[in-house]
Amino acid sequence: MVVATKLLTRTQYKDTGKQLNMIAASWIQFMIHDWVDHMENTNQQVELIAPKEVANKCSLTSFKFYPTKEFSTGFDDVKTGAKNIRTHWWDGSVIYGSDKERLQKVRTLVDGKLKISEDGLLQQDEDGIPISGDIKNSWAGVSTLQALFIKEHYAICDALKKEYPALNDEESYRHARLITSAVIAKIHTIDWTVELLKTDMLLAGMRINWYGFLGKKFKDTFGHVGGSTLGGLVGLKKPINHGVPYTLTEEFTSVYRMHQLLPDSIHLRNINVTPGLNKSPPLLEEIPMPDLIGHKGEKTLSQIGFTRQFVSMGHQACGALELCNYPSWLQDLVAQDVDGKDRPDHVDLAALEVYRDRERKVARYNQFRRNLLLMPISKWEDLTEDKEAIEVLKEVYGDDVEELDLMVGLMAEKKIKGFAISETSFIVFLLMASRRLEADRFFTSDFNEEAYTKKGFEWVNTTESLKDVLNRHYPEISKKWINSTSAFSVWDSPPNAPNPIPLYLRFPS
């Protein structure tokens, strides 16, 4: 709680400028709701109590929560581990669900389709809880993306039914889920990540991950040729596990702690007017973020509507991943269970995230870097040039840099030009982004027309970005409002100049 209060709590909001908008922030949370959630031990509670030195600055002077449930791993070097209650494959479980009950609840059982409201938002049950694959601890930004990709699934089902009228409900559902999941994975790989790590090399690298050195046109024409470098990871003849059954690591969970991306309010725009070139639509009002989370957030979103919410998020920069930029409204949060129901206890999420890394035995910052074969720091000045930050780091940790908590180090670390994240985080991103593709048979040996259908395979291969998905379902948004090269960068900026990447890497973009 000392660490969270002195080094994480937002003192003044800092954003990412034009690089990333609130859709980009919502996207990574949309992905986390697809990938990872630890099973808890609900038979006991842990209580954190703020020491006197920070008690008067904390939103909560104490709070209780469930510890992570530990399981035997069967290995001598790591005796205990945790179970993931979300499916860790890139399988769209954020809209489909991770267990049989949820899988059935989201379906209409007609032509393979999923439930969606007539207004284009998530349908709600009799208790006002949204019907989607994952609804625990959500907010309006995640809900809009869930709704968008339910519509994508819906459209795919219609296309499959037209092309293959003999398909039954279950067959249509399974094919549409494969196709939708692949579209999500592709957008994340060659659209979102490219904006997060905005350099020419990363643009080329992420496209090589998907298409290989020979490029998209060659791969579309001749299929996967050569190994993972020449032909890309997607479409390999067989999955690659590197001798370890696929799973998501605790290090992966830790580097995705990014709640600093969230602002204190959403700047709701007036979309009934057409502004001048490269100008944002007029500000209508500011909606405090607490009004957009949980059950209250779903009610607020239904009043705002999909289009206004999406356009507003597109024009607003998200928060920067830096020290003292953690939203204070998340430090007095009503948490939810897997069924989307509010729990009785409030939590300080910033303090809880620091605790979770320690509880789950994730290495502290310096050892974490050593494990990745990166240079550790020997003094605070190696980490940051911010003198004020250095003083607070000394106040909290003394001169012992080995005690530095991972999340604090990731936020304090000086960024590489173009990177919205730290170099330390980037190494884990790069390793696991590749592994999620190469270990999955539906992106390797079964990434073909037989598994996806010819129509479905074409759908995946012709979708390149989130803008493409918006064009299908909300063409009025993309045509009227998006004037940037990616839906994930701030929309009121002029279109970016083409990236000067050598022809042999870009061909034929």
33 is catalytic: yes
In a domain? residue 380: no
258-282 mean pLDDT: 86
Is 141 a residue whose pLDDT tops 80? yes
pLDDT tens column, 16-50: 999 999 999 999 999 999 999 999 999 999 999 99
In a domain? residue 388: no
Confidence of residue 277 (pLDDT cuts 50, 70, 90): low
Looking at residue 293, what is its pLDDT?
A: 96
pLDDT tens column, 244-253: 888 899 999 9
Cα torsion 112, 115, 120, 126 to 10°: value is 180
Looking at residue 502, what is its pLDDT?
A: 39
Looking at residue 33, what is its pLDDT?
A: 96
In a domain? residue 252: yes
In a domain? residue 143: yes
Q: Which of 322, 210, 290, 256 is nearest to 28 (CA)?
A: 256
Q: How many other β-carbons are positioned within 10 Å of the β-carbon of residue 129? A: 17
In a domain? residue 228: yes
Looking at residue 25, what is its pLDDT?
A: 98
271-281 mean pLDDT: 72
Q: Which of 33, 153, 175, 188 is catalytic?
A: 33
Is 496 a residue whose pLDDT tops 60? no
Looking at residue 323, what is its pLDDT?
A: 98
In a domain? residue 324: yes
Task: Give the tokens for residue 105.
Answer: 């609840």
Mean pLDDT for the chain overall: 92
Cα separations (Å) of 413 from 162, 229, 317, 380, 474?
53, 31, 21, 10, 39
Cα separations (Å) of 444 from 4, 46, 218, 414?
42, 43, 17, 37
SS3 letters across 48-72: EECCHHHHCCCCCCEEEECCECEEE
Domain count, the chain: 1
Looking at residue 231, what is its pLDDT?
A: 83
Is 275 a residue whose pLDDT tops 80? no
Tell me the C-alpha distance between 231 and 458, whole Å.
18
Cα separations (Å) of 124 from 117, 129, 262, 279, 292?
8, 5, 25, 36, 16
210: CATH = 1.10.640.10
Tell me the C-alpha distance between 316 and 140, whole Å.
15
Residue 369's H or E segment, with its range, is helix 365-371
**Domain span at residue 265?**
2-364+405-506
Confidence of residue 228 (pLDDT cuts 50, 70, 90): confident
How many degrees, rounded to 5, is the angle at CA 479 between CA 477 and CA 480?
Answer: 70
323-342 mean pLDDT: 95
Looking at residue 188, what is its pLDDT?
A: 96
Least confident of 80-94, 255-269, 311-325: 80-94
Confidence of residue 495 (pLDDT cuts 50, 70, 90): very low
382-389 mean pLDDT: 96
Per the model's pLDDT, the better-predicted residue between 205 and 268 turns out to be 268
In a domain? residue 338: yes
Task: Give the tokens for residue 284.
Answer: 């209508």
pTM: 0.94
Residues 6+ apart with CB under 8 A from 500: 200
SS3 336: strand
CB 133 within 8 A of CB 96: yes
Is 128 a residue whose pLDDT tops 50? yes
Tell me the C-alpha distance between 287 and 352, whole Å.
26
Tell me the C-alpha distance between 428 and 480, whole Å.
37
Per cent of the chain over pLDDT 90 is 80
In a domain? residue 376: no
Looking at residue 493, what is its pLDDT?
A: 54
Looking at residue 306, what is its pLDDT?
A: 97
Is 276 a residue whose pLDDT tops 90? no
